[in-house]
Structure 1
Amino acid sequence: MSRLVAPGELGVVNIGTLRTEAGAIIPDARIAYRRWGKLHGLDSGRTNIILVEHSLTSGPDVDEWWPGLIGPGLALDTNKYCVVCTNSIGGCHGSTGPSSPHPEGGYWGSRFPGISIRDQVTAEIAFLDALGIEGVHAVIGGSMGGARALEWAAMYPERLSAAAIIAVSARASAWQIGIQAAQIDAIEGDPHWHGGNYYGTGQQPREGLATARRIAHLTYRGELELDERFGVEAQEGENPLGPVRDPQQRFAIESYLDYQARKLTSRFDAGSYVTLTDALNRHNIGRGRGGLNRALATIQVPCFVVGVDTDILYPYHQQEHLSRNLGNVLGMARISSPVGHDAFLAEFRQMNRIIRRFITLASAATLPEPGSHFS
């Protein structure tokens, strides 16, 4: 049994060989994680772990992308709970992914297999097994993290007490697959992509990743918010209304998207972006389970569903569909915001209330006594 890393530190756990849903093999796979708070209840198997699942380009540093929500007395109260956030398999923040060394030499690159949301959950179960942890109190996640939380409830109901599913659908829609496929195409069309084998070449498909981010960011934010912030204004000191089109003369919204693109390319790997976006395209809770509604109805883990009223990427009707068809619904909450999909990362007051409400409802299940802890 391994010991957990110190609170806030990055740890890496070897989970051995991972076999994907499609039959591919990832030997010597590793999962990176961070944790906050002390772990109780290891002996009984019912622990006080709240497992937080990150979105596409986030990582295990949940205290940074959900600031003010994790800590003593906060919504994710580390006086009561052990909050754990892993980096998804296929990611680039410490877990095995395309940029990781391959056991046979070089980097995984194009040899890294396609993965599904189910594979992400399978890897996370192997991570807990490696630590000797049988179960968690709750799983909570938004966007890609919400898809993982939903699959957790479907795949391993005996290992969690409740799930919060935020800003996601029961399966990828044709529109979602299309817009995300366009992002993948932008990266794979970059001359520095090299078929996914750019690692070690000194080149990176930054322009392709930047274009993908511009496309994606328009689906993450709300139309009303962007128009209110930028309208048709020119970027300061530039003139996009000149006699010829000049890429150096931009509207303010173009400058904003360029800024978001630069931020992502400085911190995220293009290979992981392709891998994880493809995993989202494969998301389908009904695959192999008799269809969407039948699969949802069989989920008896208490689930709390959250949506955003202005979400373009995962429209609110998709969360309504979840709430109508899940077998055990704790409740539903709507985030009201002009921000769009990213509201679950931006509307901290509303998220604070929602997370507290979810945890109160989820805590109807018995928590372990805090007398003995595994630190």
Structure 2
Amino acid sequence: MASAPLLDVSTVLDLPAPLPLDSGQSLPGVRISYEAYGRLNAARDNAIFICHALTGDQHVVTDHPRTGKPGWWVRMVGPGKPIDTDRYYVICANVIGSCMGSTGPASLAMDGCPWAMRFPVITIRDMVRGHVALLDALGIEQLHAVVGGSMGGMQALSLAANFPERTRAALVIASTARHSAQNIAFHEVGRQAIMADPEWREGEYYAYGKGPEKGLSVARMAAHITYLSEAGLTDKFGRRLQNRAEKTFGFDADFQIESYLRHQGISFTDRFDANSYLYITRAMDYFDLAEEHGGLLANAFARSKARWCLVSFDTDWLYPTAESRLIAHALNAAGLPVSFVELSAPYGHDSFLLDVPALDKVVGGFLG
């Protein structure tokens, strides 16, 4: 019988020095919350770092402490699974700026009050600097691989490009090397929904016991649409009515899809901080790997010696296959070994989180 994944008991790291940021500022008193599964071998070279998406967290395998739901990638990580905890030491850290234990806007600043909007604007590369600091503390000089989907893929790209000596392989799933105008537009709608909520109070809502829940809920609804596909929505909901035989000729949730989105929005407010949503979406919008390296994407990979795997999905219109192809072309131009595959799945962008057996084969084959 396969052994259960082992949870590392040391799940919080306080950085000994301020973390330098792309903005030119430094973030003091940084705490990084992480989980790790499996065992680090004697050579300390069997570690895989998993980077989470925008609203994800470090709870890859364990139940979420607020919702009680299973870990977000429990189907992918564990004994005998594609990311095999009997073989690898698997780490996932909550990104800085988030709200699941790592330092973010809701954390206390040095004066004992929440950072709120005093928190410095961060970038994907800043998040990765936090990951590297964690690896340093764990004594891991080089990863077997860095893996990530969506925003996690941006972090994987950034780590492998900006810290090329730290990983031997990079697996980037349903992601992009830069945020498009359309991506930025959707994020701006969400941010404006939050900031237009009277309960946002210019970000200083922590002392009031109530935040901008309505605005955050709308932001989540708008974003959630981008994670799905039209075919998936039609198949799952179509134009079917919600618990009624006829339209109400009002503005209640007449359609199943309306009820579904409202549920997604409301449930999201129970587990996520609105200010964190502002900061993380801004970090994603700023992400442009080519811009960081003189305007040419191939330059980003000039020092890399890693092997690469890129995965896209045919129904993902948030980060379509063309985005992965651009990265593959840049890796080819840099002379690096790269595998690229577009998988067929009906779920849209969220396919990397759902039951797509072909993805299991790709992940297990590449990491093995």
Partner of 1:47: 45
C-alpha displacement at 1:301, in angstroms? 2.2
Paired residue secondary structure (2:206): coil
Q: How far apart are the structure 2 equivalents of 1:154 and 1:249?
A: 46
C-alpha displacement at 1:285, in angstroms? 0.3
Partner of 1:346: 354
Q: Does 1:310 align with 2:315?
A: yes
Which is further off, 130-139 or 178-187? 130-139
Match of 1:294 among 266, 280, 298: 298
C-alpha displacement at 1:212, in angstroms? 0.4
Q: Does 1:163 align with 2:163?
A: no
Partner of 1:14: 14
**8 Å contact kept, 1:170–1:292:** no
C-alpha displacement at 1:91, in angstroms? 0.8
Distance 1:109 1:240, change over 3 A: farther
* TM-score in terms of structure 1 length: 0.89
Partner of 1:364: none
Partner of 1:226: 233
C-alpha displacement at 1:356, in angstroms? 0.5
Partner of 1:330: 338
Partner of 1:272: 276
Partner of 1:27: 28
Partner of 1:96: 103
C-alpha displacement at 1:239, in angstroms? 4.5
Q: Deviations over 1:273-302 (max 9, x none)?
A: 111111100110012312143334524422
Structure 1: segments with no counterpart, 5+ residues: 1-5, 361-375
Partner of 2:131: 124
Q: How far apart are the structure 1 equivalents of 2:337 and 2:225?
A: 31
Q: How far apart are the structure 2 equivalents of 1:50 and 1:218?
A: 31
Which residue identity is paired with 1:107?
A: P
**8 Å contact kept, 1:335–1:344:** no
Q: How far apart are the structure 1 equivalents of 2:173 and 2:30?
A: 28
Match of 2:367 among 356, 359, 364: 359
C-alpha displacement at 1:250, in angstroms? 2.1
1:65-76 to 2 correspondences below 5 Å: 65-76=72-83
Partner of 2:188: 181
Q: How far apart are the structure 2 equivalents of 1:190 and 1:31?
A: 30
Paired residue secondary structure (2:28): strand
Partner of 1:195: 202
Partner of 1:255: 259
Which residue identity is paired with 2:118?
A: R
Which is further off, 192-201 or 290-299? 290-299
C-alpha displacement at 1:228, in angstroms? 1.5
Q: How many residues align?
A: 349
Q: How far apart are the structure 1 equivalents of 2:351 and 2:254?
A: 27
Paired residue secondary structure (2:199): coil
Fraction of identical pairs, as percent: 39
* TM-score in terms of structure 2 length: 0.91
Paired residue secondary structure (1:28): coil
Partner of 2:57: 59
C-alpha displacement at 1:26, in angstroms? 1.1
Structure with bigger RCO (C-alpha 8 Å, 6+ apart)? 1
Match of 2:214 among 202, 207, 217: 207
C-alpha displacement at 1:348, in angstroms? 4.1
Paired residue secondary structure (1:193): helix
Q: How far apart are the structure 2 equivalents of 1:240 and 1:161?
A: 57
Which is further off, 16-25 or 157-166? 16-25
C-alpha displacement at 1:126, in angstroms? 1.2
Partner of 1:367: none
Q: How far apart are the structure 2 equivalents of 1:335 and 1:266?
A: 33
Which residue identity is paired with 1:324?
A: H
Q: How far apart are the structure 2 equivalents of 1:295 and 1:285?
A: 9
C-alpha displacement at 1:237, in angstroms? 2.6
Paired residue secondary structure (1:128): helix
Q: How far apart are the structure 2 equivalents of 1:211 and 1:87?
A: 24
**8 Å contact kept, 1:240–1:250:** yes
Q: How far apart are the structure 2 equivalents of 1:240 and 1:25?
A: 55
C-alpha displacement at 1:353, in angstroms? 0.9
Q: How far apart are the structure 2 equivalents of 1:284 and 1:199?
A: 32
Which residue identity is paired with 2:329?
A: R
Distance 1:73 1:287, change over 3 A: same
